Structure 1
Amino acid sequence: MNDAGDSSPDASTSVEDGKGPLPGLFLVGGVIKELISSGDAHVVREHLSSLLQVHNLVVLFGSGASFHLGSPQTRNLTNEQVLELIRTAGGDPTDDDVELLSTINPSDNGDLEQLLNGLQLAASLAKQAGQGSVALGSGSSARTFPVDQVNTLRSKINRALAAACRLPAAGAKLAPPFDTDPLRAHRLFLARLVRNRRANLPRPRIFTTNYDLVIEQALDELGYPYIDGFSGTVDRRLNLAYYGLDFHRVETTTQSVVARAEGALYLHKVHGSLNWRSSLERDRATQLESLEVKQVTAGNEGDELVLIYPTAAKEADTLAYPYSDLLRLLGDAVQQEDTAVLVVGYGFADAHINRLLLRSLATNSALNVFVADPKAVLADEDLVTVGENRDAVGLFLAEAGVAPKRTAIAALASGRDSRVAVLTGESGKFSELAELMPEAGSLGSVSSPTAIAALIDALESAARGTTPATLESDSV
């Protein structure tokens, strides 16, 4: 998490009549290509396999890729749930905060983006009028609140939202197998993404609206090198020129290039990151001030987080450094010839990103888009209806007797553009999509650090003639 505008978590994967998990549905150009059962997904795998071999591969991650790790709910929240979010992050809501929250959200059913919008607007109006307080509510329930109190509550919610995005969430009850191996799906997805591409193709480029560090942690566990736009080791600063660099193997004595390093990719965090901090610094030679973005391992509570919070102002925020530069890189990436974009967990709620993707579809005939989302296309009962009709393959949704939802992803799924593919239902979850990614073939699977440690222990035990520890069967 991440940006509250992305796909919403699904509370359940079964319908009310108890028919069990929703089936997977794969559409290309608006046509149903495959009804995915537990043991049959060859059509979507073949489609993914072809996309992984395009010249330029782009992956766009949204918050839906983190729901299985306890990413926080941001919609349909009671005021008490908002206060609990603040407490969980170590904050201490005051009685004044409780009163302000109940006044600005009298329905007791809030959306964090709308709530933050309201607080921001109230403070802005008071500032514009040169007043130190703002009146909220109507009639006898109207109350006056100091602007400082409004800004304080907004800051508490922002920090609570950021803290809730430190995944895997502390104390969260994750479903198996993620309760014992939280990053399994991310490792599997990234490993198959990288290992299925030919060695002579450009590196995959990952863009994400998420603040969390899950992708970085998964890459570290895999041992894959990646370029995230930062230079330095102790003092790491954002330097976008580093996206022009690459990794190569060299002969240690002559330093001559032997081959490109395997497993490398590029990572772009277009809405900021939990480990980014801003710093206004003065150049020693010219004495000119410049804004620096630094990557830290641990920040102080008062440090300014470099994040785009989910408010109405977020599109304007993207015009500032460093977001504008990172979005420019996304725009450049999707305009290249022979390009595929894998969209995972992104709900098309950010107009600035949607504009880049839709304009590229309109102008770049060599662009293919694959979208995975479990809930955005059909209602549960309609998905089950289609899943039970084996004759639905080859039909448009309307011909199959169901009506798509009024969402951006449903519109993409219904459109008759053969360059657009949508995977929905249970298979549209990120954790399920990772399993559907084509396997690496002769390159083999990627072992988890614990599996590797168990293998080493077994080999050492064999050398000592002792009984080896039990090896893990997990090959991810």
Structure 2
Amino acid sequence: MTTSSSDSQGLFIVGGVVKSRMTDGDQQVLQDYLSNLLQVHNLVILIGSGASFHLGSPHTRGLATDAVKNLIISAGSTMEPTDEDLLRVLNPNNDGDLEKLLNGLQLAVALSSQMALDSITLGEGSTAQSFSVDDIEGLRKKIGAALAFACRLPGEPGSIDPDYRNDPLRAHRNFISRVVRNRRANLPRPRIFTTNYDLVIESALDQLGYPYIDGFSGTVDRRLNLSYYGLDFHRVDTTSQQALARADSALYLHKIHGSLNWKAATEIEATTGVESLEVHQVTEEAASKGERVLIYPTTAKEGDTLAYPYSDLMRMLGDSVQQDDTAIISVGYGFADPHINRILLRSLAMNPALNVLVVDPYAVLEDSDMITAAKNDDIVGTTLSEAGFTSKSTAIAALATGTDARIAVLTGDFGKFTEFANLMPDPGLSSGQVPPSAVVGLIESLEATLTRSISITGNDDD
């Protein structure tokens, strides 16, 4: 459930020093920081699964065996007796982690293949049991399909935060529109990189009416063509076709771990006969019937990023954060992916013109400590350790307690994506600008009014 702003707790930390307790009076400190950050020359937004928790995004850790079974059944698969036996062996403490389960199944298949075995024994002593490679691989595919199915967001109404059931994408629209409208027209387009499979960002962009480039070319047959990231949108004179100005509100979207509507196919080029891997953008249903282009959460995911198209997308992330006057806003990303962390940390080491804002609600302090810290008037201007608090053993906590003034962390309730979206400066309040979707809504409203008027008068000659 979303916490009301008046009850929310939070800390804004820069270079290891608490700059604001995020009370109503102190929020201006963060607002001023964001206003400056959004005007950097090169803006990179990194969005992780935490930005979708209010929409029912699945939790993958601490799952009882029954919860894993329910995920599989919900995705339309059946649980065979062998599947239940495998889960019992791989999840003996009944607190499963989907990443570890997928790892275990993947390693069992790899070991069987290496030893040229048709089956392998798992467990020890009286609980040891033999499983065929086909059974192991079958459960691995079922869990993968269940994870993909659970990432079809927004989820069922009961899984969505009550404040967002009537309008699930409101927070994403607020966040994206404020990012775009805060930037001056002469600055490069914002670039959104996301590890999420879901189509929430695309749906929010569609609702806003914002044009975006996602690396795909074509209309009927949409194929990944990374050269499209070198294109842009411009307004043109309809007669001369001369470019007049850059189109408003456009941005770039990079899905670095794949997407629910990406499908891979090996194809042979008609004229040369050369075989190549193509990535198509299709419906979610069509993608589920083929080879989805997704990096699943296993220990093999870092190796997976070396393959096409992930390697090219990761290279684009690396290039983006190496530019002069660059800022990264990381929202909902827990720094659990070494291949992404390596890019970010090396960029901090090599690019003195890089600033990073990490937004996360829970990774820095325990809940009880956060409540105490947020009520401490004297904490502003000190470090957490100086104020007597012990931070968690997380990557984000390490960033929050470091002394690099280029790194800022927003944590506590205000670190939730829904809260942070509302904290973003809203230039529309002062400039009178409105997003394209609002203009479309106005036109539709006027058309509806005109239609009703014609219907009442019965006269359409005017």
Unaligned stretches of 5+ residues in structure 1? 1-10, 15-19, 467-476
Matched with 1:327 is 314
Matched with 1:398 is 385
Change (3 A) 1:274 1:47: same
Cα deviations across residues 97-134 of structure 1 (Å, max 9, x unaligned)?
11111012111111000010001001110110000001
Change (3 A) 1:12 1:181: closer
Change (3 A) 1:280 1:465: closer
Change (3 A) 1:450 1:258: closer
Task: Tell me if structure 2 keeps the 8 A contact 1:348–1:354.
Answer: yes
CA distance in 1, matches of 2:343, 2:425: 28
Cα distance, 1:309 vs structure 2:
0.2
Cα distance, 1:457 vs structure 2:
3.2
CA distance in 2, matches of 1:144, 1:44: 58
Matched with 2:264 is 278
CA distance in 2, matches of 1:463, 1:159: 47
Amino acid across the alignment from 1:403: T
CA distance in 2, matches of 1:449, 1:170: 26
Query: Is the aligned partner of 1:109 residue 2:95?
Result: yes
Amino acid across the alignment from 2:445: D
Cα distance, 1:171 vs structure 2:
4.0
Q: Which has the higher helix share?
A: 2
CA distance in 1, matches of 2:76, 2:25: 45
Amino acid across the alignment from 2:189: R
Which of 305, 308, 314 aligns to 2:292? It is 305
Cα distance, 1:450 vs structure 2:
8.8
Matched with 1:343 is 330
Which of 420, 436, 458 aligns to 2:407? It is 420
Change (3 A) 1:328 1:133: same
Matched with 2:344 is 357
Task: Tell me if structure 2 keeps the 8 A contact 1:221–1:448.
Answer: no
Matched with 2:21 is 35
Task: Tell me if structure 2 keeps the 8 A contact 1:126–1:134.
Answer: yes
CA distance in 1, matches of 2:161, 2:106: 37
Cα distance, 1:300 vs structure 2:
5.5
Amino acid across the alignment from 2:311: S
Query: Is the aligned partner of 1:125 residue 2:93?
Result: no
Matched with 1:208 is 194
Which stretch of the first structure deviates more once superposed, 242-251 or 290-299?
290-299
Task: Tell me if structure 2 keeps the 8 A contact 1:22–1:380.
Answer: no
Which stretch of the first structure deviates more once superposed, 144-153 or 103-112?
103-112
Q: Which runs of 4+ in 1 moved over 6 A?
A: 11-14
State TM-score, norm by structure 1: 0.91
1:53-92 mapped onto 2 (5 Å cutoff): 53-92=39-78
Matched with 2:251 is 265
Unaligned stretches of 5+ residues in structure 2? 455-462
CA distance in 2, matches of 1:12, 1:233: 39
CA distance in 2, matches of 1:460, 1:28: 51
CA distance in 2, matches of 1:246, 1:274: 25
CA distance in 2, matches of 1:458, 1:258: 29
State TM-score, norm by structure 2: 0.94
CA distance in 1, matches of 2:272, 2:420: 52
Cα distance, 1:462 vs structure 2:
7.9
Change (3 A) 1:144 1:408: same
Matched with 1:162 is 148
Matched with 1:253 is 239
Task: Tell me if structure 2 keeps the 8 A contact 1:209–1:271.
Answer: yes
| Percentage of pairs with the same residue | 61
CA distance in 2, matches of 1:152, 1:21: 47
Amino acid across the alignment from 1:52: L
Cα deviations across residues 232-271 of structure 1 (Å, max 9, x unaligned)?
1111111110000000000001000110000000000000
Matched with 1:471 is none
Query: Is the aligned partner of 1:239 residue 2:204?
Result: no
Matched with 1:296 is 282
Matched with 1:436 is 423
Task: Tell me if structure 2 keeps the 8 A contact 1:338–1:366.
Answer: yes
Task: Tell me if structure 1 keeps the 8 A contact 2:65–2:95.
Answer: yes
Cα distance, 1:35 vs structure 2:
0.8
> 1:36 is paired with a residue of what secondary structure?
coil
> 1:198 is paired with a residue of what secondary structure?
coil
Task: Tell me if structure 2 keeps the 8 A contact 1:173–1:179.
Answer: no
Query: Is the aligned partner of 1:187 residue 2:173?
Result: yes
Which stretch of the first structure deviates more once superposed, 438-447 or 115-124?
438-447
Amino acid across the alignment from 2:335: F
CA distance in 2, matches of 1:348, 1:334: 16
Which of 5, 10, 32 aligns to 1:46? It is 32
CA distance in 1, matches of 2:326, 2:77: 45
> 1:71 is paired with a residue of what secondary structure?
coil
Which stretch of the first structure deviates more once superposed, 39-48 or 213-222?
39-48
Change (3 A) 1:24 1:168: same
Matched with 2:305 is 318
